[in-house]
Structure 1
Amino acid sequence: LKGKIPSDVAVTGGLSGDQDRFQETFVFSDNLPEKNTIIAVGFYGERLKIGYGSMGGWDSFGPDRLVTSSKGNILYELDGKPALDLYKKYLGEQAKGLPATGLLFPLSLRLKDKDTGLVRTILSVNDKDKNMTFAGDVPEGAYVRLMKSNFNHLIDGACGAAKMSCESFGSDTPDLAILISCVGRKLLLKQRVEEETEGVQDILGKSATLTGFYSYGEICPVVPTEKECELHNQTMTITTFLER
């Protein structure tokens, strides 16, 4: 996406999901299900305003760790030590439930040239080779911290994304909001998952129409002042539309 779309065009969206089956995903094109396909819609107009925001609400803990060995989305070493050993040390008894319990403890990834972090979710672990596979790249030279969940903070994160998405609207409220929440958040929040959308509706106003889906990854610039998109995990990502 970054290589094909002009740098002054913001890109937001999400990766297709299949609820929590983790088997096979599709998108629909001309009323037909398609695999390995990207669907894109361009919005423009003199009277159109678009905002976006992405937040997780996770709590970071522990020291920053330098990624000293990785390849794509596979993490081998932190601070020159096997990444999986360090991760298990932090998790304690929870490590026995890996990779499932990894959903509760994603990593905060901070790139060398960025002040804000991205969330990376664990997909699998390799006990033999002591490495970990994530739902997004973990480049060498980046810094990571462990994160843990707090339900109230996750819901606050969704509300924060809503506030961020309409910062440029002033006193106006959006007409439409597309909400893309990671399916991992739904699995964590369970019966409280509706509080995400309720909180967002309260922030954006009752006149705003909400739509969206649960994704396997979210796409959005890190902050509203930037246009370059990034892949996020375990966030609520919101795109808002206002036409006057």
Structure 2
Amino acid sequence: MKIVQLKKKENIGWEYLSKKINLNNPLVLVFGNRFLLEQANIYDEVSELFPNAHIIFASTSGDITAHSVDEDSITITAIEFEKSTFEVKTTNISALTDDSFKTGSDIINQFKKENLKFIFVVSEGSLVNGSQLTKGMNAACNNVLITGGLCGDAARFEKTLASYNESPKEGEIVAVGFYGDSLEVSFSIYGGWTPFGPERIVTKSQGNTLYELDNQPALDLYKKYLGEKSKDLPGAALLYPMNVRIENEDQSIVRTILNINEEDHSMIFAGDIPENSKVQLMMTNVDNIANASERAAKQASLNREKSPELAFLVSCIGRKLVLDQRVEEEVEEVISVVGENTVISGFYSYGEIAPFNGESNCQLHNQTMTVTLLSE
């Protein structure tokens, strides 16, 4: 596996973060600031750097390398596989009348399944219902590891962009399927958030929209807890996500609020909030988040035959807001485990895609660090 990384900031040219080498038919991941990805010449710039490449764009709430975490930049990670192969497939949520389950199953059904080892997904993060998307992907492809994340737009929540071999656009979902027995892939997720306050019952919801808790308007109750911070909604909600215990499910999940509706006093989440679920507010601190990232890296590293060459990190925008000036600490914790020879590529997201530890079907998570390790 050969890997090249570059970074670009506004009005500054591309800077190599690694040794410049020629790559043959590489997979090129371009993670970056939404406004920079909207610039008219960005696709031409990247394709000029890598003429025979498979180029994937994804807007983020911060792009991650071993060198830094940046919110106002674009990072390229170009990967040439020596023995493994890959295919790239796309679909668009707006073209399927917002049916996230069908979108998920459709994109996975495009892959040939023989010898399919792993799928990495970057999904638009504004329109999609992430929990229905992952259910659709699982329905189409059982027992194949799927990880990735929902694209971001800093803490603006205006729109997200993604694309494959064209200029970044809205509504796009891109998946990369990796093939080959030589490829070793492992993963883990951890959060580091703690529930607090009373547990309440979801008495009215539809999909990922929450209307009532304990028969009271959900938004009103949430604002009561936030107090003065409620004026900063929906951004302030990233600091206080919800722990959701769904009936007949073994694992509880964390859900982040993406938007609010003042007219009907509802809250829109990144994934489903089923009726009769029990929910509780959550909080955390810098140390807990950094420790959770270290645990994820250690868990992903267990029982590997080969040291990882590449690490995909997808972390939540809510974690980034808590970490603030210390945001690089959670990445440093991962590096301390996987080693400085492992290339780090990733982004801060509106939702993380991975199975629970020890399980095979992927889920939508919020407020986690997802670590995926690859080697040939």
What range describes the TM-score normalised by the shorter chain of this pair? 0.7 to 0.9
Are the counterparts in 2 of residues 162 and 203 from structure 1 also a CA contact under 8 Å?
yes
**Deviation at residue 93 of structure 1 after TM alignment:** 4.0
Mapped to 2, the partners of 1:119 and 1:149 lie a distance apart of: 13
Displacement of 1:185 after TM fit? 2.2
Cα distance 1:40–1:109, how it changes in 2: closer, same or farther (>3 A)?
same
CA distance in 2, matches of 1:7, 1:140: 27
Segment of structure 1 superposing worse, 58-67 or 14-23: 14-23
2:269 to 134, 140, 143: 134
Taking the aligned partners of 1:168 and 1:138, their CA distance within structure 2 comes to 35
1:207 aligned residue: 341
CA contact (8 A) 2:239 2:321 kept: no
Q: Counterpart amino acid of 1:211?
A: S
| 1:159–1:92 distance in 2 versus 1, CA, 3 Å | same
Name which structure has the greater RCO, CA cutoff 8 Å, separation 6+: 1
Could you tell me how far apart the structure 2 residues matched to 1:98 and 1:212 are? 27
Find the structure with the greater CA-based Rg.
Answer: 2
Aligned to 1:166: 301
Q: CA 1:26 to 1:147, structure 2 compared with 1: closer, same or farther past 3 Å?
A: same
Q: Is the 8 A contact 1:59 1:150 kept in 2?
A: no
The counterpart of 2:230, out of the listed 95, 116, 140, is 95
Contact persistence 1:69–1:77 (CA under 8 A): yes
**Residue 217 of structure 1: which of 339, 351, 355 is its match?**
351
Identity across matched positions, percent = 49
Q: TM-score, normalised by structure 1?
A: 0.88
C-alpha distance 72-167 of structure 1, shift in aligned 2 (>3 A): same
Q: How does 1:54-203 map to 2 (within 5 A)?
A: 54-169=189-304, 172-203=306-337
- Please identify runs of 4+ aligned residues in structure 1 that moved more than 4 A: none
1:31 shift after superposition: 4.4
Match of 1:230 in 2: 363
**Counterparts of 1:125 and 1:28, CA distance in 2:** 28
1:25-70 Cα deviation digits (max 9, x unpaired):
2223114323322211112322322111222211211233221210
Deviation at 1:78, TM superposition (A): 1.9
RMSD: 2.2
CA distance in structure 2 between the partners assigned to 1:161 and 1:71 by the alignment: 32
Deviation of the 1:236 alpha carbon? 1.4
Give the direction of change, closer, same or farther, for the CA distance of 1:81–1:156 in structure 2 (3 Å limit).
same
Give the deviation of 1:14 after TM superposition. Answer: 0.9
Matching residue of 1:13:
148
**The 10-residue stretch of structure 1 (118-127 or 146-155) with the greater mean CA deviation from structure 2:** 118-127
Q: Which moved more, 1:46-55 or 1:120-129?
A: 120-129
